[in-house]
Amino acid sequence: MIKYGIKIWTNNSQKIFEQTLNLFAKRQIDFVELYIHPAVTDHQKLKIFKKKVITIHATKYEDDFDIFKLTEKKVRLFNEQVIGTADFLKANLIVVHAGAGSKQAIFKNNLERIFDPRIVIENMPRISLDNKYFFGYSLDQLKWIKEYCKVDICLDIGHAIKSAASERVNYKDFLSNLLSILKPTYFHLSGGFYNNKRDEHLNLYEGNIDWSWIKNELNKISINKDIWLVFETPKTENDLENINYFKKLA
């Protein structure tokens, strides 16, 4: 079965929080992925999401958290904000970006410093928006993360398509390999252009990605197990529009 979710941020407005609760009430979404913005340190403002199905997205590179550059202060903040919020909301999954770097030993060591059994690592595009090189963009790197770091992969389909553009390979072939070898069950979806190497996060109906093909591949997986789709598309009213667009695809 496919579970449909949207992404919100801990620093979003109360209006967005209320809109999200309304989507839950109308059963138009199954869960929410909550991004931990470093400016928000009070869990109590999030108590309205208690008893809802919540997953957590850890603070990312653009907000000054990079697994390759951990300090004691950042480890402490990760435990207080990311793990603390996950515990407070009883989240069963924590998404962590693979970060910007290349040395496997540093990645593995730093992951152990923040390790929690709920962590899954999100694949990245090859090139960041500020021209850094991300880890976890290739099949070999992701296989290594899964096998040697003992964590599952959150497959960001948009990021994978950007990686395919960087490597000049067919994105459908690349995605097929990722799906068959990594066997992910948790996904991020956003629109874009498959020949653009840069992250975009457009609406699904923008760009030139074949979402009907992707939906068909995901449907195959969902026959035997639950899969979780997070729509990382422009906010806020567009969330439901993108979910309905995906559902109507042939």
pLDDT, tens digit, 9 for 90 and up, residues 20-50: 999 999 999 999 999 999 988 888 889 999 9
Per-residue pLDDT band at 90 (split at 50, 70, 90): very high
Residue 235 pLDDT exceeds 80: no
Mean pLDDT of 6-11: 95
Could you read off the pLDDT of 74-84 as tens digits, one per residue? Answer: 999 999 999 99
Tell me the pLDDT of the chain averaged across its residues. Answer: 94
pLDDT at 45: 86
Q: What is the pLDDT of residue 155?
A: 98
Which residues constitute the domain of residue 31? 2-248
Is the pLDDT reported for residue 236 higher than 70?
no
Considering the chain, what percentage of its residues have pLDDT values greater than 90? 87
For residues 108-131, give the mean pLDDT.
94
So what's the pLDDT on residue 130? Answer: 84
3-state secondary structure the chain: CEEEEEEEECCCCHHHHHHHHHHHHCCCCCEEEEECCCCCCCHHHHHHHCCCCEEEECCCHHHCCCHHHCCHHHHHHHHHHHHHHHHHCCCCCEEEECCECCCHHHHHHHHHHCCCCCEEEECCCCECCCCCEECCCCHHHHHHHHHHCCCEEEEEHHHHHHHHHHHCCCHHHHHHHHHHHHCCCEEEECEECCCCCCCCCECCCCECCCHHHHHHHHHHHHCCCCEEEEECCCCCCHHHHHHHHHHHCC
**Choice between 212 and 40, residue whose per-residue pLDDT is larger:** 212
- Total structural domains within the chain: 1
Per-residue pLDDT, 6:
96
What's 193's domain CATH number? 3.20.20.150
